[in-house]
Copies of this chain bind each other. A is one copy, B any other.
Amino acid sequence: MRADAERSRRRILDAACEVFLERGPDAPLDAVVRRAGVGPGTLYRRFPDREALVRELVTDLLARLTEAAEQARAAEPDPYLALRRFVHAAADLRMGAAIVVLLEHLVVDEELVAVRRGTVVAVEGLLRAAREAGRLRPGVGMGDLVLLCVRVSRPLPGALAALDADGSLVHRHLDLALAGLAGEPDGPPGRALGFDEVIAAAGRPGEPVPGRVTE
């Protein structure tokens, strides 16, 4: 594969990831094209239809997730810290997009099942280790973990997204979800976010609200 083709492929997949997270699995492919900064022809040549794009995106993400889970396990002897590390890595990888998109526009074939199984096994290992070490609230299941990850690591809607341009808020809130808003004062992760900052984007009286960042 030629170098420029590979570059385009990567840009399209990355853009698709963000766009599907922000606008849902039916987001127009034109939006992906604009975000990726490529021409429509480039997208439609490589991915004949939406499903082809989605399939490659999901496969790619699941593989990287599996790798992240295995790396986290290897790098952290403490099972809870390993799980925590994985959760943060999953957010960086935009795990949400994989799931959103997997469930919507995809015929799940055997190859996909195999890739998915690999991810599930790896993550379940992390979870079981943390549970057996007594570092996980009893009754918390794999589904809870995954859904909380999806919920917390999705981009904030609309103009709120600007609050977390660099993603640090996602990591703060992941830590909060892990440790609990109500919890022992063993140090809060990051710094407190003021409400004023949240509503700052709402503009002042009489002023038009600054719209979302136009693409």
Contact = CB atoms under 8 A, between A and B. Distances in A.
A100 B140 CA distance: 30
How many copies make up the complex? Answer: 2
Interface stretch (A7-15, A35-43, A67-75, A172-180): A172-180
B181 A107 contact: no
A80 interface: yes
Contacts of A141: 192-195
Contact of A137 (B135, B188, B203): B188
Interface in A117-166: 120, 124, 130, 135-148, 150-152, 154, 156-160, 163
A53 interface: no
A65 to B, nearest CB: 13
B104 A211 contact: yes
A201 interface: yes
A63 interface: no
A110 interface: yes
A111 B193 CA distance: 26
Contacts of A103: 158-160, 199, 201-202, 209
B206 A109 contact: yes
Contact of A192 (B139, B146, B199): B139
B108 A143 contact: no
B173 A147 contact: yes
26 contacts: A96-B157, A99-B160, A103-B160, A103-B199, A103-B201, A104-B158, A105-B209, A108-B205, A108-B206, A108-B209, A109-B205, A116-B199, A135-B182, A136-B182, A137-B176, A137-B179, A137-B185, A139-B190, A140-B176, A141-B193, A143-B194, A143-B197, A144-B192, A146-B198, A151-B173, A178-B180
Given A24-B158, A137-B188, A148-B152, 4 more contacts: A140-B181, A143-B195, A144-B173, A152-B152
